[in-house]
Amino acid sequence: MSRTQTARTYLPSVRGDAMLLTHGRKGTAEDLLLAGASVVLDGALGGHIDIAGRKLLGIERRRVVAGAESPDAPLLMADLRERVLAGTPDDPWGWFDRAAVFALERVSAELDGAGVTTPLRLSRARRLFRHDTLIVSESAESAARARLLAALAGDGTSESIALGAILLHTGLLTEVAGRRETRRLEASVRTLPATAQTFIAVLRDQRRREALLAY
């Protein structure tokens, strides 16, 4: 296979499928969190980043640290690892926020390079409402949806399980996949690597806190 063909092959990932299913939508805090968390979860699943320390007496002492360097790491994953190495120490939620700053642009570029999306040429005027940023290949979106539905049925890959969990704990799952039973998905989360489970637990716990505050 030529270098050109390789560059235009989409390999399913948490971050890529998240953007394919939402068309790179932006405009809400949940959209930003989805983009950032999907990059972070790919980093955790690939061993590019890890978590050190633990939560003690309710005090967050966990910190995101760099994982082992991999010569075959995708550019974005290598960059994420380098950012963790070079940046000031931060907890898992802090890295959701940090990754959200660059996630949409970088993942959009990956998808464009793989030939499964076309960036929407939007005006530079500030947009006050939620909007798509990508035109998505119908076949690529359908394949991403099938992977997500498989995860919801308890038969997903690590990437689709992680994406399902992120969508669930950001409140976006119903929008993306309709109302679904999530018990099998939540059981499948326990099969993921410990670091990925910890990141997902941070999302889950934050959503629970927000629900309590809403009452």
Q: Domain coordinates of the chain in residue numbers? A: 3-214
- Tokens 């990059």 correspond to 39
User: What does the alpha-carbon distance between residue 51 and residue 195 come to, in Å, rounded to a whole number?
Assistant: 6
pLDDT at 213: 73
Q: How distant, in Å, are the alpha carbons of 11, 58, 102, 104, 162 from that of 98?
A: 24, 23, 8, 12, 19
Q: What is the DSSP letter of 63?
A: E
pLDDT at 3: 34
CA end-to-end span of the chain: 57
| Dist CA 2 CA 141 (whole Å) | 25
pLDDT value, residue 210: 77
Angstrom distance (rounded) from CA 137 to CA 111: 10
What integer pLDDT is reported at residue 57 of this predicted model?
78
Coil/strand/helix, residue 52:
strand
Residue whose C-alpha is closest to residue 74's, from 109, 117, 33, 118: 109
H/E element holding 117? strand 117-119
Q: What is the DSSP string of 119-185?
A: E----SSPP-S-B--EEE-HHHHHHHHHHHHHHHTT---HHHHHHHHHHHHHT-HHHHH-S---HHH
Tens of pLDDT along the chain (215 residues) come to 333 333 468 999 999 999 999 999 999 999 999 999 999 999 999 999 999 998 887 788 999 999 999 999 999 999 999 999 999 999 999 999 999 999 999 999 999 999 999 998 765 656 668 899 999 999 999 999 999 999 999 999 999 999 999 999 999 999 999 999 999 999 999 999 999 999 999 999 988 887 777 66
Q: Any idea how long the chain is?
A: 215
Interatomic CA distance for residues 121 and 215, integer angstroms: 41
**CA pair distance 114, 208, nearest whole angstrom:** 37
User: Which pTM does this prediction carry?
Assistant: 0.92
- Helix or strand run (H / E) with residue 64: strand 63-66
Supply the angle between the helices 158-170 and 194-214 in degrees, to the nearest 10: 10
Tell me if residue 28 falls in helix, strand or coil: coil
Question: What pLDDT sits at residue 54?
Answer: 87
